[in-house]
Each structure stands twice: as structure tokens, then as C-alpha cells.
Structure 1
Amino acid sequence: MINSKKNNHFIEKKETPLIKQYNNIKIQYPDTILLFQVGDFYETFGKDAVLCSKTLNIVLTKRSKNGVYLAGFPCHSINNYLPKLIRSGFRVAICNQLEEAKKGKNIVKRGVVELMTPGTTMNEHVIKHKFNNFLASIFIENNIFGLSFVDISTGEFFTIEDNQEIAIQYINNFNPSEILIQKKYYQFFNNLFQKKYHIFLMEDYLYNYSFAYEKLVSHFQTNSLKGFGIHDLKLGIIASGIILFYLYDTLHFKIKHISNIKRIKRKNFMYINDYTFRNLEILKSFDNEGVSLIQVLDHTITPMGYRLLKKWIVFPLLNIFRIKKRYHIIQELCIDDEIRIFIINKLKNIPDIERIISKIALENISPKEMFTLHQSINYIKEIRNKIIITKNKHLIEIGKTIQDCDEISKKIITTIYQYPPYQIEKGKGNVIIEGVSKELDDIRLFYFSQKEYLNQLCSKEQRNSGISNLKIKFHKIYGYFFEIKNKEKQKIPKHWIQKQKLSNCERYLTEDLKNYELQILNAEQTIFLLEKKIFSTLIRKLLNSIKKLQNNATILAELDVYCSFSSIAIEKNYIKPVICESSDIRILGGRHPVIECQFISKNSYIPNDIYLNKKNQQILMITGPNMSGKSAILRQTAIIILMAHIGSFVPAQYAKIGLTDKIFSRVGGYDNISLGESTFMVEMNETANILNNITEKSFILLDEIGRGTNTYDGISIAQSIIEFLHENKLRPLTLFSTHYHELNNIPISLKRVKNYHISTKKIKNNIIFMRKLIPGSCDNSLGIYVAKMAGIPIKVISRAEHILQMLKNKRISFVKKEKKSISFMKKIQNFFSKKK
């Protein structure tokens, strides 16, 4: 959504007191949809009503008197409708009635209690359980982007400064729910991302370095930003300051859990562009029912673990020490079943404590969540005590970084009951344990001795009235009363006050019963207020411990990912790769981790070997029939390299992986209709991006380049690309698959290009795909055979075979003529040379 005066539609026709109140509040939130509580409904008016009607598929009505559009829904249905508005990109202000409607009062008091936007909401019905919900901010100057990302539901805060291409990739990696940009860049940004993201326009004057710097140091309560390592990022600081301003502007004042800001340095992580993520199906499969790499690797137990796993996949490491450290921990967990299973079992009892911690900062945590935090602290302590006695130094190191939170746990358990039955926010008591407050205990004693007092009062009135079967009853609307059957009406004392008359009985009050009921109601309200006050005090006591809790949650997430990697390594027979500074890649018995999951038998997938180096085998040119598995080999090689860099074990018998700073993939074909680009244009765009951005540590996959155009153009482009990569001084390692058999002669002139093909075996009239990569070239794509397997009519297949034979004969005839022509020309040349 975009903030614009064009969206500020206020209702001016024949203002009633209600509409006047609405307009006064709406003018404070002009760029939001205002959900205006009227009794048991949330109503929207004017332009908001039209938008809500379309988005929520609810009835749009029009007042006959003033022609104002209305659309609304019941208050109890807000969790059904609110998520739809937020996910559609709208900002929503929730305006509640702040007092009960009273007779004689023209209008009730109302006010905005919450302002939600796609990037700042904490509503559990809006944000996805296992996923981050990032708000992004962008500042651009001299074609350099300052970026900032914050997730208020977890407290994570990042900043980056880089060129446009890298910035775009970071934005796509973080996939923010909302992006803040300057007004002047609206058109530029929309062209860049084709309206992919929800954006909110900020006033240009806010983008001031001093203003942003002050916002950050004020929030973190520091004298400078040097301690965060971002002091030299002018554009990043401006982008980050804008985010904090926006959070405060959207009523998010309680964000103490955002206690750190991290700098992301490009040199620390492998670069993988969007094309490659998509082509390799790393985060999402092409098919809605298909499986992606992250789904295969995800054996995490907690939401924190899954979020961290995704970050590790999106940001593969380039630090060999950190990668090897991950290997060592996974190896130890693979060996030690007892400790791995122990950690997994404890993790099963731990909820999303990152978001529970954030609720402490927002002072929006329930007693039940508070008690869950106490239990989680105990489970984390048990994990710590277990891993610090292992023999693995890295696990011991992790255990020692888990901070002692016993004091926090003690504060919780000595304040609230175990398994509190009610939430304080709902106006119920019975949360704070006995002994915390004498005042609360005394009022409770009075409140919970109702039965005894009422029995005494009932006995007294029985004696005085002579009504032996007299009873005191209670109704949630009418309160306490004496109920008398009609046959005993003559015994009713004169001082009794009639409350209600029914067909078979009458209900009465006494002054004693009336006064006691009033005391009970006051006691119930007092208990609620006291409990709420004590619980709020407990929350404030925990605010200073947020960093400790966040530290432990982060470590817990790491252990979750390590256990996930070790579990899948055992289950799928993955091995620990060797990561090294050299550029060589040697994979023995490599398998595609996603494809092999589709086989019932573990040994059904045919493994393959890949060896690449800069000296004599820089480029493998792979040929083979359709459906033989060329693309699978390309993809599995890239995925194994990626897995090695995130610290995971890999599906192979042996893998030595040279440090790779970029993976480029041009695999598969599709049209980008929205941009008017053909398959070939998309292919060339992606290939251009690869050729213009290679480094000496890049790894490249090129699958059937040039197939989107005519044969001769395609062959020319493919050969030229191979020559370019071969002659480039950076010598990037490359796998190149093709159906152009004319390229098989390239290794004759380019010494670091080697021919490989996928083997097949012919038995009678059937072809068996062996799925095995072997040296040498293949001269037949077996396209007609594949067409036959697909069910193409026999008549079509027979005609295709006939045409193919004709074309082969013509080619043979043409080659013979060419040879004769060349021979004849040589004879003429020899004749004239002899004459001379």
C-alpha cells in the first residue's frame, strides 16, 4: 500500500456524532483502513468499506440518508478477517470502544488501540508460525543501496550496504512483508521488482544521516555505533534509522528486545542469485506438490531452528574454520546417538521462545506463555548440563555459552501458578500464587468464602421466615436472589425486596444479600486489578534479562539445526565433505538429495563422479539422450557444493569441495510473459548475468544453452560461450550440457574442455538409460524414442523416423560433396603451384 492524500477519503455528508467521531480519528490515520467498533461489530466507512468489501468478500451497503458506504464484520471474527487485510498489504488501525455504552450518553469514547502493518504485526493469526516477518528499509545514493531488515517478532535487526544487483538479491533472500522507501523512488522501485512487494512511501526529508544516527544510539543507549561495526555504513545507518522511526510511528514503542544490529558482509557468504535458487529448487519446487532442498534438509523441531536453517541455506559460509566447526559438531552428534536423541527430545517440549521473548518486551505475554518460558529455561539448562560433559570441544563450547537463567525461572515460578487456568487479559483471576501479596490473599479469602457466608445467611433467613427449603441461587445477569415457590408466598417477610416474578415462583433480595453481592463484585474486580498489576511488575522485572534469553534461544536454534543435519546424515547416508582453499571439485558417488528421496529403495539412485580443476579439466561438456539425467547431474553437483558450504554433510561417497564464492545456474526454460520476454530472451538474460559476474572461485551450470533459437544460432552461441569461459583468465569451473553434437569436437582445440556423456544400453528395440556419466561424447539424443515412450501415435513416430533418415542421408551426401569439392580445389592449387 502507498500513503497518498488520494487515499484520504473522509465522510462529510450530514455528519452524525458517530461519523464526526470517526472522521476525527480517521484524519489521524489517513493511510490506514480504520476498523471502527460499533457495539459488537467492526465497521468501515466510505473508501475503506469499498476496499474491505472487495478484499474480504463481505457485503457492501449504502446508507440511504447520506449515501455513505458501509462494510463490517462481527468483532469475534476479527482473527478471520484481519489476516486477509494485512496480507493484502493494507495498514489497519483497530479502533475500540473504551467504555461501556450508557443511557443518556450520545456517543461512547473510542480510540485506536493497535496499528498493524504487514511488516510490524505481531498477530499470531497473521505471521506464519515458522517464518520470519521482516520489515525492510531502503536508501539509495549514487547507485549504492543502504538496506535494513528488522523482525519485531524475533528481535533480529540487520543492515547492509552494496550495489544494486547484490541489494536486490538480499531483498529477495529476506523476502520482507513490507518495504519502506523514499517517495521519489516509488516508480523506480516498482519497475525494479514489478510490484512484488508491499511498499510504504516515506517523506524524503526524513532521510537524514544525523537524524538516523541519533535514532539508533538513542534506541541502543550507546554513545556511538562502533560497537556494532556499522559506524562506516552511512547509507545503512540511514535505512536503519528510518525503520526505528517507522516502528515508533506505528505505535511500537516497546521494542527493547531489538537489542543488537548486525552487519552483513558480502565477503563472508557465497553469492547465489535468484535464477539459481529457482533453477535448483532450493527453497521452492517448480511443482506445488514437488519437494525442495530445504524440505529434505528440514528435520528441525522448533520454529527457531527452521528459521535459522533457512538463513544458513540462503547465506552459505565462506569461512573454512566456521564450516569445519559445523562439520565437527554434526559428526559428534552422528556418533553419539544418546546425546542427539536427548537434545531432540528436549527440543520437542520447547515452543517458539524467540517470539515469547519478544512478547515480554511488548508486554503482551500471557501467563500461560510465561509459564512455558519457565519450563523452556529448565529444558535448556538440562541440555547445557548434558553437552558440557561430552568429549567434543565444540559442543562443550556451545554449552558454556548458554547463560544461567535460574533467577528468571525463579521469578516466574514464585509469582504465577503452574498451568494458570485463565489469562489475566480476559478479566479472570487465579493466576498469581498465594503469598505474593497479602492484600490479594485477604481479598481472595473473602471472595472464596462465599459459600460459607451464603449458607449462614440462608440459615438465618430460614429461621426468621419459617421457609425450610429456602435456597440462595445465582444468575449471571440477575446476580444472587432467594427463590420462593408460589405456594409459600404468604411466608415472605415484609423487608424482602421483590426482584423478579415468574409463573411458578418469585425471586427476592434482602439488604444483606444485596450488600454482599456488591462486595463480591468489588472483590472480583479488585482481584483482577491486583493480579494484573503483579503480573505487569513481573514482566518489567524480566525486561533486563531479554539479552540472556535471546542468547539462549539462538543457541537452541543452532543445536536444532545441528541435530537436523546429523539426523538426515544418518538416515540418508551422507558423508562429511572436505572443504579446502583450492578450486578443485572432486565428488565420488554423488547423488541428488531431492531426487533420491523419491525412490523406495535406498540403492535405486545411480551415483556419479565429477572431477573439475583449473589445470586440465575446467569444463565438462555433457551430452546424452533426453531423459537420461543430464540436468540431474548438473543440479546435484551444485547442490552438493551448496550443502558443503552451509556446513551440512553431503550425499556422496567422497567429496572434496574447493571454496566457492558464487554458484551460477542456467537450467530449464520458461517465458517471462509479464515482461514480454520469450524463453530465449530469459535464457540470454540469465547467461549474460553469469558471464558478466564470474570470479576465479565461481561454479557454473549451463544446461542446453541456445536451444531457444534456430540450430545454427544456438550452436554458434553455445560454442562461443564455451570458448569465452575457457579463455577467460579466471577459468571458472563449469558443467555444460548440450544436445548439439556438433560441439563434440571442441575439446580438440580447447584443452581444458572434456567430453562426457550419459551412457545408454540398447536391448532389442528398447533403450535403457544407465544414468551413468562416462568419458566421451554421444551422437544421438534419442528424441524419437522418448516421443514414443510419451505415447505419441505410431504413425507420427514412423514418419519422424523416415524424415530423420532423409535428413541424415542429405547430410551424408552434403559432407561427401564438400569433401570432393575440397579435394578438387586442392588438386587445382597443386596444379598451379607446380606451373609456377
Structure 2
Amino acid sequence: MSDATTQSPEADHGMLEAAGKDAAPRVPAEALPLVPAAAPSWDAPQTPLMRQYAAAKQQNPDALLFFRLGDFYELFYEDARVAARELGITLTSRDRERGVPMCGVPFHAADAHIARLLRRGFRIAVCEQMADPKQTKGIVPREVTRVLSPGTVLDHTLDAGENNFLAAIHVWQRGAEHARTADAERSPDKVLEKAARATATVAALALLDLSTGEFRTSEWSGPAAIAQCADALANAGATEVLLAAHNPLLLGEESTMRALERIRTKTTLDAWVFTADYALPLLEKQLSARSLEGFGLAGHTAAAIAAGAVLHYAQSTQRSALQHIDTLRFEERSQHLQLDAVSVRNLELLEPLFRGANESAHIATLAHTLDCCQTPMGKRLLRATILRPLADPAAIRARYAAVAELRAHLILREELRRALGNVLDLERLLARVALENAGPRDLLSLGSSLRALPSLCATLQQLQQAPWSQVCGRMHSLTNELAALEQAISTTLVAEPPVTIAEGGVIAPGVHAELDTLRTSSGDGRSAIVAIEERERARTGVASLKVRYTSVFGYYLELTRANLRHVPADYERKQTLVNAERFTTPELKELEHRILSAHDRSVAIEKQLFADLRASVLTSAAAIRSTSTLLAEIDLLANFAHLAAERDYCQPVLVEGEASLLEAAAARHPVIESIMQRNGLGRFTPNDVYLDSESSSILLITGPNMGGKSTYLRQAALLVILAQMGCFVPATSFRYSLVDRVYTRIGASDNVAQGRSTFMVEMTETATILNTATARSLVLLDEMGRGTATFDGLALAWSVLEHIHNTIHARTLFATHYHELTNLATQLPHLRNVRVSVKETPDGIVFLHAIEPGAANKSYGIDVARLAGVPQRVLARARQVLRAHERAERHELAAELAPATEPLQLTMFTPLSQRIVDRIESTEIDSLTPLQALNLLQELQEELRISKASA
């Protein structure tokens, strides 16, 4: 690492004198991951600079302190050890006597290093020089200008298609004392009801993406409030969560703890931050509102408190007014189809179930499959819409109409998508301007994006459907409002500005008269420097003489030691090097002063003009945010139209009425179909789905492993989610009624850390479904009961099916290997058997991946094991054991599962004969090959022979 002090005027202050031996306080466990180390004893003798460092570190003990020294950010003591380890940079010491560890990074390259630390969960405090060292006598004043954390990242390393949410959870319990006596006098029943509500648990979640300004909050109440809040937190994918100190309601809830496990950075705030007296006024001031009722927060104090806590943390870390955060949205559950964290994971909506070492596993997600959006705002809206599909029929049908029209017009669709492709991330550009992190190129990008709006409006004007005409009108108005800003940006900035404003060269010629004059003067001065160099070479006869410049020593004449005898008498020695000497002259000093004065004045003017331009952007912040929101909606609908045209998706038909309908003809799985087409694996086998609460609300699906049962289940759920997003679906036709919530119980997982076995996880998820599903829900149950003994699992599966059929009446797809469950079709009128078709060949079985009516008569588990490579000897023995168990259990199981209301049936056969009769009766003769029929006859004869011998 370079020596920062060689370029700093503070080198003479003994700035790196050791402050004593290491011995610092431990970081609170609630705020992990933090700097796990000790700081020095600040009572030891310190230099002025180290007193600055100590003060900044004591204010931010849980953050790595990036301390600005000249051209570097330096870290000391344990901060240095941590940073050196995490960043792979050299750990050194500037004071070898006392052994103060340190490391550093160049300030112009610090963003990449900081981003790397943030991704690993650390917090960063940035301590900047608050004055120009050249203009300061003594030590330069320094302050912590911002505190960065994973939830407040603003740099360009963020994924353009994903939000970076900072979350806050607030949980409290209403007191029964809120029930009024007057209510009791009017109605005893009402006061009991109110008292029940008064003692209910309330949980709230607030989410803020500081990089875009998206700010929303939600609230739940009742026994499942904390679990529902935890689901929303898990789905949001927050990178940092804020918690109130010592909240037993929150920390004692298992579902919340599971959700928190996925978030690496958990920051604890003082309890007073999570109070109405503090949080509500803070919100009102930020939103410039006298009341929060206009934001939907009337009666939702917990949601407002959570939002206030997020805002408090953002303001305290950014040291900024956050001018781009000017609205807050309260989300009602009824506005969206509800998807819990289990369903989001099982359906692989955003993340694959099994990523492993395969970095391309993300292509197996719905989000990746649907993402053909042209703008970052559209990509983020797509992910949000996947997690929160619509539940308003009018809004859904409006999207269908817009998508249908654009799908039918290829040229308009491509023109619109091309125009959208010229728009950059308006939300994040605005946020960088508001937080004073925007450079010249950011403003230029903002201007180029605004320049693309007129052509986009011209395309929108050619569309006729109401959604498009409404969007077009609003977009046209905003485009006119922002035209002056776009003109100001394009005329103020040069076409290719530098990254920062620090050295000028950003403002275009003709913008400021004095600036143009100073630039001319500076240019003339540099020409004079060239002339001096040529003249002095001729005068001294030294062809290698050079006139050079450094920020520390200014302009100087440099000659090698071999040419020192040619130095004129009027040269003044300025610096001695190993192989050269540096000199100056009165003429060069005067010229240097004139050039540097002009340059400094030019940079000052450019900084002021650039600040004025940023201020102009902020005055239009509301219009830019509105434009960004509209562009995201346009991009989403254009994306849906593109998918419908390119992938032959059909328009869903939303029906309303008493019955809960789900009817799909020749439906395909959108993700698997896309992967198969991309990899040249042939065509996906389509299947029909029909569920109707008045006839067949439950499909009981049987068939072998690998036959496609799980795919069929997931496919049905994805079609519903797509339809309620307003997207067309992969089918030849699709009719449905609204779904309020999708539940899934698919696959096997455990949670050893929480002491939960695979079967316990399965039962917990099943309990959630049985306790909260409604007749409007869609329930997917796959292999329920397989985590315990056969009869236990069968009994539970049997009972669950009966409860869903008789009590909940939800549309349900139930895949199972318990063939005994197929008998329920004779007892439950709304249950229908379907099976995955399989073709048997002399070489084994062939999966047809088609769903057909009827129940499967065998599971083919041994055949699948053969395909997996299980040794033949093991397979042969497995067949023997299977036949023995089937003979022993078939009769007893049939008798136990008979309905209790049926009279006992006497039989003229012995138990042995009855088992043979049952075996023959259950055999589908038409499906038997000649060889299988001979084998069956041989087995029956053998059974009779054994029976006679034992008798």
C-alpha cells in the first residue's frame, strides 16, 4: 500500500502515533455481523489526528471506520485486521514501536471494496475531510458523513432487477383496557368481541429500498400475525432488518426466527425508536403531511411505527433529508393473492430449490422465465407482481385488455420495447441525486432517459384500449413537465464527462462566461509552460530537461544529476531526488500561480453549476418518480404481450359466481417448457386441469415417481399466479375464478437448528393449510404423510382429504403413493381420481407424462429404482418382499378402511380365498401383457399350493 502521508499536509502531526494497547468493548450480539474486535484504550496519549479517529470510532463502534487521509481511506486497530482479512489486502503498521495495525484503500477505488464488505454483512462508517487541506492551517476537520449497511447500499453493484430492502418489524400486544365501558352498556357481545381484539397480537412490517425510494408497510393482527409478518419478510428478500431491543413477543416466535435466519444483518435499535410519539411525527415531517390517514394508515399505528423506525435508521445513516422518499404505501392483504414463504420456495418463483454449485440454476425460476423486461424498473415490478398477484377483477381484466391489444400489433409492440430499452434506472438515478452521490455521468444518464420519453408517448398514442390511453395521457403530461429539465441537462454537461466533478471538465462551453474565460487563461498558461520548456532546453543545452507538475510541489524544472553542471544561476533548488534535482524560477512561480488560480476558480464554478443542476433535478423529483412508476407498468404489460406472442400464451377468462372454477385445456408448465425449448429437449407434454367446487374440487393424483405428478401440481399453481398477475398463460384455454391464497406442501425438508424433523415441518405446513385455507384457495399437497410409518401416514392423508372435502371445500390437487386413498372416490362425491400414464415395455417402463382419468394400480417404485441403477439382486429381493406384504395386508387394510356406516358384509370365502378374489378383482386385465398375465396366474397358484400344504 502506498504511503498516504507523503501527499498529505498532515504528515507533521505525528498522526499515527500509537494510542496504547488493544482493549476494546465487545459488539452487541443483536447487531451481528459487526466488527468482532477490540479497539485501543483511548485514555492513552494521542496525537490530534488520532483523537479525531477515536471520536469517530466511539460514535460508530459497530462499524468499520474508513478514515480519510489524503488520497486514501485508512483503517486502524481491529478494523484494519478485519478489512485486511476480508479484502485480501496487506496489513501493515505505521508505528512500529507501538505496533498500531493499519491498512488502507485508495479513495477513488473505495466503492468496490466497501461494496464487498457490505455484501458480507458489515457496516461501514465513512469519515471524510471536511475542508481542503491546502486551505487549512493545522489539522483538517473530519466528520462521519454517512454510515453504510447492507440495507442502505446505493452503489452500482446492486442487481438492477431486484430491490434492496431495509426492513423493520414491530410487534406489540393491545391491552384489554382499551375496551370501553360504554360499549359494554350498549352490547355485552360487542365488548367481548372488542376485548378479544384488544388483547390480540399486532405485527407490522415496513420495507424501504433506499436506492429507489420504494416505501411500503403492512400490518397483521390475530394469533397468526407474527407468522404472517415473517412470511412477508421472507418473501421480500430484505438484506437488513431492524429490531427493537428486548422484544420478547418477537424473539420468542419460531416463525419469525426462521425468517430472520435468512437475513445476515440484524440491527437492534433503542426501544424509543419504536414508539408512536417518535415515529409518527417523523413520518409526517418526511411526507409533508399533517396526518397519515391519506396514506391508508388510519387505525394502523403499528405499521406507521415500523415505517418510522426504517425512516429513522435511513436518516441517521445517510445524514441526509432523503428528498426522494416522498410517499408511503400501506398494503392491505385483500389487494393481492397471498403467497406464504413456503409456497414461494416450493414453486421456485424467485429462487431455485437446489442451487448447489450450479450458478445457472436461477433459470429454473418463474421470475427468470418471465423476465423479458427492458427497464430495471420493469424488472423489479415483475418480481413484485409475482410475489403479490392482483386480487381485483377489474384491474386484472384491464391488464388482459392491454396485453391483448399489444400482442396483436407486432410493430407497435417492438417500437414500444425499443423505446423502453433507451430508458435507464430513473429510480436509482434520482436516489443518487437526492443523497448527493450522483456524479456527472449519472445526470447525463438521467437526461438521456428523459430524452426517450417523446418517442415512447408517440407509440402509446396509437393504442386504443383504456389502460393504454390512460397511461398515455399521464405520460404525455409528465414528458412535457420534464422537457425543461432534459434540456438543462443536455446543454449544461459535456457529452462525455469524467466520473467525478473533482477536477472539473464537466460543464459544457458557453454555459458560463467567466468559466470560459478562465479556461482560456488556463489553456494559455499551459501553452506558456510548453514554451518555457523549449526555451530552457535551448538555454541550458540539456535536451532531457522537463517541466513537470505534481499536486504537492506544483510546477518545476527537472534535470538529471549528470546535467547539474548546466544549471543556470537563477534556478532555485526545490527538491532533491536520488537521480535528479528539481528547480523553479520566478517566472515559473508566477505562471504556476496564474494557472492554478484559474483552475481552482474554474473547478469552484463547475461545482456550483453542477450543484444547481442537481437542485433542479430534485425540484422535479415527484415527476421523475411518477414517470418511473408509469414506465415500470408499461414495461410490465409490454413484457406480458411479448411473452404471449412469442410463446403462444392464451388470454385467461375470469369468471365470477358461486362456484370456484379452475379449467385449463392443454396447459403447460411455463418454466419447464422454456428450459426444454432452450436446450432442444423436445416439446412439453400438455395436460388438462379441471377443478370445480360443485362437481370435482379435489383431484387425487396417483402414479410412479418421475411420472410428473409434482410438475402437474406446480403447473396448476403457476397458471393461477400468472393469470392473476394479468399475464396470459401457457394453455389453449384457461377459465378460472379468483384465488385468495395458494398453499403448497411439496417436497421434504427439515430444520435441525429449531429441532424440527422432516415430518414435523410437513405437519406444521399441513396445519397451516387446514387452519387458514378457504373455499377460494388453491391447495397443493404432494406425498403427504410419507415422513412417518405407512399406516400413520395413510391415516393422516385420508383424514386430511376428508377435512378438505367436507369442511374447507378448497380446490385441491393431492398427489400420493397411497393407492388405498383412491377408494375415497366412492365416498367423497367431489373427489376424482386421475393418474400419470405409464407404458410398460419388455425393457421397462416409459413415462408418458400425461394425466388421464382413473387410479394407478401400481407405483412402479422398483422399476424406478432399476432406472436409477440399483443392483439386480436387490431389485429381485425387493419384488419378493413386496409380494409378501401385499398378500398379507391387502385384505386387512380393505376391511379397516370401509365406511363405519356400512353393515358388516359376510363372505362365503376363507380369508385366503378372499385375498385371491380381491387380487383378481383389482387387476386391470386390459392393461396386462401376456407375460404379466402368466406371472399373475403362477403367483395365485403358488399361493393356493402353499395354503393347502400348511393346512
1:599 aligned onto 2:661 = no
SS in 1 for 2:766: helix
**1:111-148 CA distance string (max 9 Å, x none):** 323211222232334x3333211112222221101222
Secondary structure at 1:141 match in 2: strand
Q: 1:2 to 1:86 in 2, by over 3 A?
A: farther
Q: What does the per-residue CA deviation read over 1:587-640, in whole Å, with 9 as the maximum and x for residues that have no partner? A: 110111112223246862111111111112011111112221111111101110
For 2:885, the equivalent position in structure 1 comes to 807
Taking a change above 3 Å as real, the CA distance of residues 80 and 613 of structure 1, as seen in their structure-2 partners, is same
1:21 to 52, 64, 74: 52
1:196 aligns with 2:262: yes
2:683 match: secondary structure = coil
Matches within 5 A, 1:352-367: 352-367=425-440
Q: Within 1, Cα distance between the matches of 2:292 and 2:71?
A: 49
Asked whether the 8 Å contact 2:573–2:583 carries over to 1, the reply is yes
- Which residue type is aligned with residue 193 of structure 1? M
- Correspondence 1:594-743 to 2 at 5 A: 594-600=671-677, 604-728=683-807, 730-743=808-821
Structure 1 residues 103 and 257: CA distance shift in structure 2, 3 A: closer
Distance 2:441 2:895 in 1: 88
CA shift for structure 1 position 731? 0.9
Give the aligned residue type for 2:748.
Answer: G
Kept after mapping to 1: 8 A contact 2:241/2:267: yes
Partner secondary structure for residue 476 of structure 1 = strand
Q: Provide the C-alpha distance between the structure 2 equivalents of 1:615 and 1:70, rounded to a whole number of angstroms.
A: 75
Taking a change above 3 Å as real, the CA distance of residues 489 and 199 of structure 1, as seen in their structure-2 partners, is closer
After superposition, what is the alpha-carbon deviation per residue over 1:334-372, rounded to whole angstroms, capped at 9, x for unaligned? 211112211222233322221111112122211112112
The amino acid across from 1:149 in the alignment is L
d(CA) in 1 for partners of 2:150 and 2:445? 28
Distance 2:522 2:133 in 1: 28
User: Which amino acid letter does the alignment assign opposite residue 286 of structure 2?
Assistant: H
| SS of equivalent residue, structure 2 residue 507 | coil
Q: Find out whether 1:229 has 2:293 as its counterpart.
A: no
SS at match of 2:151: coil
Distance 1:201 1:526 in 2: 46
- Report the CA distance shift for 1:639/1:73 in structure 2 as closer, same or farther (over 3 A): same
| Residues 1:208 and 2:275 are matched in the alignment | yes
* 1:517/1:227 CA distance change after superposition, 3 Å: same
How does 1:209-288 map onto structure 2 within 5 Å?
209-288=276-355
Q: Is the 8 A contact 2:546 2:559 kept in 1?
A: no
Q: Tell me, in whole angstroms, the C-alpha distance in 2 between the residues paired with 1:242 and 1:687.
A: 35
Q: Secondary structure at the match of 1:119?
A: helix
Q: Is 1:321–2:394 an aligned residue pair?
A: yes
The equivalent of 1:180 in structure 2 is 242
Matched residues, number: 820
Q: Is the 8 A contact 1:268 1:318 kept in 2?
A: yes
Q: Relative to 1, partners in 2 of residues 1:160 and 1:457: Cα closer, same or farther, differing over 3 Å?
A: same
CA positional deviation for 1:59: 6.5
Is the contact made by 1:136 and 1:149 (CA closer than 8 Å) also made in structure 2? yes
Does residue 1:2 correspond to 2:69, yes or no? no
Aligned to 2:907: 823
2:526–2:595 CA contact under 8 A, matched in 1:
no
3-state SS of paired residue (1:640) = helix
| Inter-CA distance 131–454: structure 2 relative to 1 (3 Å threshold) | same
Q: Deviations over 1:47-69 (max 9, x none)?
A: 54555466556677799989776
What residue in structure 2 maps to residue 124 of structure 1?
A: 156
* Paired residue type of 1:118: P
Q: Tell me which residue corresponds to 1:134.
A: 165
- Which residue identity lines up with residue 557 of structure 1 in the other structure? A
Q: Does the 8 A contact of 2:63 with 2:123 survive in 1?
A: yes
Q: Which residue of 1 aligns with 2:230?
A: 168
2:520: which partner in 1? 445
Task: Report Cα offsets for 1:677-724 as digits up to 9, x if no partner.
Answer: 222111111101100001120010111111111111111111101111
User: For residues 466 and 221 of structure 1, what CA distance do their matches in structure 2 show?
Assistant: 71
Query: Aligned partners of 1:782, 1:393: CA distance in 2, in Å?
Result: 54
- SS of residue in 2 equivalent to 1:418: coil
The match for 1:559 is 634
Alignment correspondent of 1:833? none
User: 1:81 is matched by which residue type in structure 2?
Assistant: H
Structure 2: stretches of 5+ with no match in the other structure: 1-28, 174-200, 899-903, 911-951
Give 1:797 deviation, angstroms.
Answer: 1.4
Corresponding residue SS for 1:94: strand
Task: State the Cα deviation string for residues 199-249 of structure 1 (Å, max 9, x = none).
Answer: 222222233323222112211222222332223321112222222222222
User: Equivalent residue for 1:351?
Assistant: 424
Measure the CA separation in 2 of the matches of 1:31 and 1:364.
Answer: 24
Worse-superposed segment, 311-320 or 429-438: 429-438
Q: Deviations over 1:67-120 (max 9, x none)?
A: 776352333553443224323333211224556779999865433232112222
Secondary structure (helix, strand or coil) at the match of 2:152 reads coil
- Provide the C-alpha distance between the structure 2 equivalents of 1:148 and 1:416, rounded to a whole number of angstroms: 38
Deviation at 1:448, TM superposition (A): 1.6
- Identify if the C-alpha distance between structure 1 residues 98 and 223 changes in structure 2 by more than 3 Å, giving closer, same or farther: closer
Residue of structure 2 in register with 1:154 after alignment = 212
Letter in 1 for 2:666: G
Q: C-alpha displacement at 1:452, in angstroms?
A: 4.9
From the superposition, tell whether residues 479 and 66 of structure 1 become closer, same or farther in structure 2 (CA, over 3 Å): closer
- Corresponding letter in the other structure for 1:313: I
Per the normalisation by structure 1, the TM-score is 0.90
Q: Is the 8 A contact 1:11 1:23 kept in 2?
A: no
Instruction: After superposition, give the CA deviation of every residue in 1:465-509 in whole Å (9 maximum; x if it has no partner).
Output: 978999994312365566899999999876555668999998764
Q: Does 1:783 align with 2:866?
A: no
Residue pair 1:466, 1:491 contacting (<8 A) in 2 also:
no
Q: Is the 8 A contact 2:696 2:830 kept in 1?
A: yes
| 2:318 match: secondary structure | coil
Deviations 1:647-705 (CA, angstroms, capped at 9, x unpaired): 11111111001100010011111222222222211111110110000112001011111
Whether contact under 8 Å (2:94, 2:102) holds in the other structure is: no
For 1:95, the equivalent position in structure 2 comes to 127
Superposition RMSD in Å: 3.5
Q: Do the aligned residues in 2 keep the contact of 1:26 with 1:34 (CA within 8 Å)?
A: yes
Q: In the alignment, is the contact (CA less than 8 A) between 2:417 and 2:635 conserved in 1?
A: yes
* Cα distance, 1:167 vs structure 2: 1.4
Instruction: Verify the 8 A CA contact 1:622 1:756 in the aligned structure 2.
Output: yes
Q: Kindly, what percent of the aligned residue pairs are identical?
A: 32
* Residues 334, 567 of structure 1: 8 Å contact kept: yes
Q: Verify: 1:78 aligned to 2:110, yes or no.
A: yes
- Give the drift of 1:397: 1.8
The runs of 5 or more residues in structure 1 that have no matched partner are: 827-836
Q: Decide whether aligned partners of structure 1 residues 509 and 204 sit closer, same or farther in structure 2, where only a CA change above 3 A counts.
A: closer
2:96 & 2:536 partners in 1: Cα distance?
Answer: 58
Which of 119, 135, 145 is 1:113 aligned to?
A: 145
SS at match of 2:654: strand
| Inter-partner Cα distance in structure 2 for 1:606 and 1:488 | 86
